[in-house]
Amino acid sequence: MTWVLVVAVVAGSAYAVVYTAGLGEAAVLRGRVLVAALLGGWALAFTRPLLVVLIPFATVVWLGPREPTASSPRWSWLPPALFLAGFSLAFVVAIGGAPAPVAQSIYRAHEVIETAAGGLLVLWGALVAVRVPALVEARSGWWAAGLGVTVGLLFYHELDPSYDSVFFKTGNAVASSHAPLTIATFSTALSVLYLAAALSAGRWRPPAGRSIAGAATALLGVAVAGGWFATIRGVVLR
């Protein structure tokens, strides 16, 4: 419970500094792009636009059984950490545009990625919601990393406006706000807070937590693959 309180205080305080009138435009943050990126990662962590990351992330946090088995991963924090590493890598490359050949390939293949990744979310969500095979549980770290990359490639464009809002609010809307180091600072801050939350969530998850997260992930995949995500985003995520 202590971790939950710490995470809530950090996220709430960062949100107040970045977005609350009178604080977001504080002169102390102007010109401090990396500080704004760090605070932005904490501030946006549990906002509505980030639900597209939190929902699949929950399937990884609650992937294993409530009571560990012989096939459960030795380190329970490893799958969430690998998910976040995969997501951060994809997000930094896609938003930062470097390395250029990889980023350009992502941009050109966006429609294909959207359809394929949406289908993967449907399959993964359905699998997690019903029953996790022992093979998946035993190799959960690899699956989690792949899911993180998938989520990053699928939703980087949707998250870009929220990312940009951090720098507009703090007076740091400059070219360096999209430099790879700045984006990496943002995603690292976000990941640290998510991992801290996962350490607590993994212990007190509700009995149907994994099934609910899996079903929600599958529905998210259906919306993306079916081309309905933009409509849902306009109603729910903004």
In this prediction, residue 55 carries a pLDDT of 94
- Classify 202 as helix, strand or coil: coil
- pTM score of the predicted model: 0.88
Mean pLDDT per segment of 10 residues, for the chain of length 238 residues? 80 86 58 90 93 93 64 69 96 93 92 91 90 64 90 93 90 85 95 90 73 92 84 58
- Return the closest-CA partner of residue 182 out of 80, 87, 41: 41
What is the DSSP-derived secondary structure letter of residue 236?
I
> What is the reported pLDDT for 202?
64
- Please state, as a whole number, how many other Cβ atoms lie within 10 Å of the Cβ of residue 118: 20
DSSP state of 63: -
Residue 39: its pLDDT value, please? 93
- Write down the residue that tokens 């590493």 correspond to: 85
pLDDT of 106 reads: 93
Q: Report the C-alpha gap between 130 and 141 in whole angstroms.
A: 20
| pLDDT reported for residue 104 | 94
Which residues does 108 contact at the CB level (< 8 Å), separation at least 6?
Answer: none
| DSSP, residue by residue, 26-43 | -GGGTT-HHHHHHHHHHH
pLDDT at residue number 127: 87
pLDDT at res. 235: 54
From 52, 111, 19, 43, select the one nearest 233 (Cα to Cα).
52
CA angle 182, 60, 80 (to 5 degrees): 40
**CA 82/CA 119 separation, integer angstroms:** 21
What was the pLDDT predicted at 93?
95
Q: How far is CA 123 from the centre of its chain?
A: 19
Return the pLDDT at 236.
Answer: 54
The whole-number pLDDT of residue 234 equals 62
* HEC letters along 178-192: HCHHHHHHHHHHHHH
Q: Where are the alpha helices (DSSP H) in the chain?
A: 2-19, 33-44, 51-61, 78-96, 100-108, 110-130, 134-138, 140-169, 180-201, 209-225, 229-232
Spatial contact of 121 and 128, defined as CB atoms under 8 Å apart: no
Residue 193 confidence (pLDDT): 95
